[in-house]
Structure 1
Amino acid sequence: MPELPEVETTKNGLLPLIKNQTVTKAIRHRDNLRWEIPAHLRTTLANQTVIDINRRGKYLLIEFKVGTLIIHLGMSGSIKVVSSDELLLKHDHFELIFDNDKSMRLNDPRRFGAVLFSADGLHPLLDSLGVEPLEVLFDETYLYVRSRKKQQNIKAFIMDSKVVVGVGNIYACESLFTCGIDPQHKAGGVSKKRYQLLTQHIKTILAKAIKAGGTTLQDFSQVDGSPGYFTQTLNVYGREGKLCPTCDGKISRIIQNQRSTFYCPICQT
């Protein structure tokens, strides 16, 4: 599933390609993904110029004078910019064609993504989001203060988008491994010192993943079609049964909150 680094990578790839470009057509090649794609985009975005592109959590925000196009990549989505006369691929579900004869296409095989619109930049899906992990508010005390009396496991806690956005399954597993924390610990029982260390590692790992272009496991690719290279540096995620990179143990996989968790039972205590 595309997580914060993959969405940030997509944003960074789109900026030089579509910022200041004017839409000639907005086309929905199917009516709905996770929710209905607004039919009015055909007229609302016609002749509108992309002012900027931002990210909030895992949502891509394409800014126009008339409002904000909100895109979520879902479980399997990716965005590419190609020549407008290039043949559509299977699962190209939404498209913006620009006056420079380029086309931005959302491809989403599993159709869990979303294309939405807000005239004022506000949306219920954005209202409840927690802090951004790479910004100042996510300081060394933030997680510790928010975790007190929490009975949920620490992995679920740091993946809660109402607490902090964008720390998805891959990066939660990798961050907990790097600082040696058992993902099964109750969030409220982890010490302040360990939360300080975890905060540092979340920031570092997300920044490295962005620099590497994100992580490609199955469907994700960058705007230019290349994969995310952070896959090559994963320590535990997807490595069940393989040797731990720091000890003689083997990586285990358990299910937490209906998701696979990968960790080293020896290193993570």
Structure 2
Amino acid sequence: MPELPEAETIARALAGILPGRVIRSVTVLREDVVAGSAPQFGAALRGKRFSEVGRRGKNVVLVLEDATRVVVNLGMTGRLVPGPGPGVPPASTHPAVLFHLDGGACVAYDDVRRFGRLRQLSRAEWTRWSRQLGPEPLSRSFTGRRMRGILSGSRAPVRSLLLDQRRIAGTGNIYAVEALWSARIHPRAPSNQIGDAGAVRLHRALRRVLRAAVGAGGTTLRNYRAPNGNEGLFQRRLHAYGREGRPCHRCRTPIERVVFGGRSAFFCPRCQPC
């Protein structure tokens, strides 16, 4: 599932393409990926101009000049694919929504498994929706003190807390596992027992891992591609995720896997004792 680094990579790419472009029409090919009425979704966007492209958590946010937002949750396999030129359709294999722009350009929302969702939100709706999410882990306001407060207020396993979008926005399983390996914290450690020193290590590790993953264009394990079709490269730098049975890059102890909360977590039993 695309996480913060993948959504950030997509948003940065589209920020060089969409601002200033006008939506001439919207074609919804798969109504199940649109929240609410598909005809109303298209009608509400027709004639509006993109002003910027951003991100909130794991979501790509397309901002229009009237402050309307199109929030794109990529689900498991969602992609935003711009056409290579005017009149040339996007190289989309499973198009679900097509945004037809001025000058003959087109951007497709492509989704093989169709677990993603597109939501059109007014300014007020956006404010209410955004408030449901936790802080952005790469923002200046996300300090070590704030991380300590989040951890100390929960008895949940720390990996589960990192996946809770109401606590911290944007972190998914890949980067939670990698941050915990870097911070030498067991995935099942109770959040409120990590302590101040552990909280500082985890805060630094999470920000470091996320920044590195953004710089690498994200992680491609199966379906993820950037808008230009390129794979992410961070999978080459994974220390724990998906490495069960392979030697830890620090101590050479075999990486182990544990399943809880319906998800696999990977860790080094020596570097990350329970």
TM-score, length basis structure 1: 0.94
Q: What are the Cα deviations for residues 112-158 of structure 1, in whole angstroms up to 9, with x where unaligned?
A: 10011012252454331010001122101112222225221011112
In the alignment, residue 201 of structure 2 is paired with which amino acid? Answer: L
State the Cα distance separating 1:194 from its structure 2 match.
0.9
Of stretches 249-258 and 61-70 in structure 1, the one that deviates more from structure 2 is 61-70
| Alignment of structure 1 residues 22-33 onto 2, 5 Å | 22-33=22-33
Q: CA deviation at 1:203?
A: 0.7
Matched-pair contact (CA < 8 Å) for 2:70–2:118: yes
Deviations 1:149-168 (A, max 9, x none): 52210111122111111111
Render the CA deviation track for 1:16-43: whole Å, top value 9, x for unaligned.
Answer: 1111111112111111127446322322
Match of 1:10 in 2: 10
3-state SS, counterpart of residue 18 of structure 1: coil
Deviation at 1:58, TM superposition (A): 1.2
The separation in 1 between residues aligned to 2:156 and 2:34, in whole angstroms, is 28
SS in 2 for 1:204: helix
Q: Offset of 1:86 from its aligned partner? A: 2.5
Alpha-carbon distance between aligned partners in 1 of 2:245 and 2:102, rounded to the nearest angstrom: 52
CA offsets per residue over residues 175-234 of structure 1, 9 Å max, x none? 000111111111111010110111011111101111110111111100100001111111
Counterpart Cα distance in 2 of 1:56 and 1:152: 24
Shift of 1:63: 1.1
Structure 2 letter corresponding to 1:158: L
Q: What corresponds to 1:79 in structure 2?
A: 80
TM-score scaled to structure 2, two decimals? 0.93
Aligned-pair CA distance for 1:52:
0.9
Given the superposition, is the C-alpha separation of residues 196 and 175 from structure 1 closer, same or farther in structure 2, using an over 3 Å criterion? same
Of the structure 1 ranges 165-174 and 31-40, higher mean CA displacement relative to structure 2 is found in: 31-40
Q: Distance in 2 between matches of 1:103 and 1:120?
A: 25
Query: Runs of 5+ in structure 1 lacking a partner?
Result: none
Residue 28 of structure 2 aligns with an amino acid whose one-letter code is R
Query: Is contact 2:218-2:233 (8 Å) kept?
Result: yes
Distance 2:159 2:7 in 1: 21
Identify the residue that residue 197 of structure 1 maps to in structure 2.
201
Cα distance in 1, alignment partners of residues 17 and 198 from structure 2: 42
1:258 corresponds, among 255, 259, 262, to: 262
**Distance in structure 2 (CA, Å) of the matches to 1:87 and 1:62:** 18
The residue that corresponds to 2:42 in the other structure is 42
Letter in 1 for 2:205: H
CA RMSD for the aligned pairs?
Answer: 1.7
Moved more, 140-149 or 197-206: 140-149
Q: Do the aligned residues in 2 keep the contact of 1:68 with 1:121 (CA within 8 Å)?
A: no
Provide the secondary structure at the position in 2 that maps to 1:122. helix
Give the distance between the partners of 1:224 and 1:62, measured in 2 at CA: 18
Give the structure with the larger helix fraction: 2
Structure 2 gaps of 5+ residues are: none
Do the aligned residues in 2 keep the contact of 1:34 with 1:111 (CA within 8 Å)? no
Q: Counterpart of 2:217?
A: 213
Q: Distance in 1 between matches of 2:118 and 2:49?
A: 18
* 2:192 aligned partner: 188
Q: What does 1:84-233 correspond to in 2, within 5 Å? A: 84-86=87-89, 89-120=92-123, 122-123=125-126, 125-148=129-152, 150-233=154-237
Distance 1:87 1:162 in 2: 34
Match of 1:249 in 2: 253
Change (3 A) 1:81 1:121: farther
Identity score, percent: 27
CA contact (8 A) 2:143 2:203 kept: yes
One-letter code of the match for 2:168? Answer: V
Partners of 2:90 and 2:55 lie apart in 1 by 29
The alpha-carbon distance between structure 1 residues 88 and 249, as it changes in their structure 2 partners (threshold 3 A), is closer
AA in 2 matched with 1:168: G
Larger mean Cα displacement after TM superposition, 121-130 or 74-83: 121-130
Work out the CA distance in 2 between the residues paired with 1:197 and 1:252: 22
**In 1, Cα distance between equivalents of 2:124 and 2:235:** 34
SS in 2 for 1:74: coil
Distance 1:37 1:108, change over 3 A: farther
Moved more, 10-19 or 122-131: 122-131
Contact 2:246–2:254 (CA under 8 A) maintained in structure 1? yes
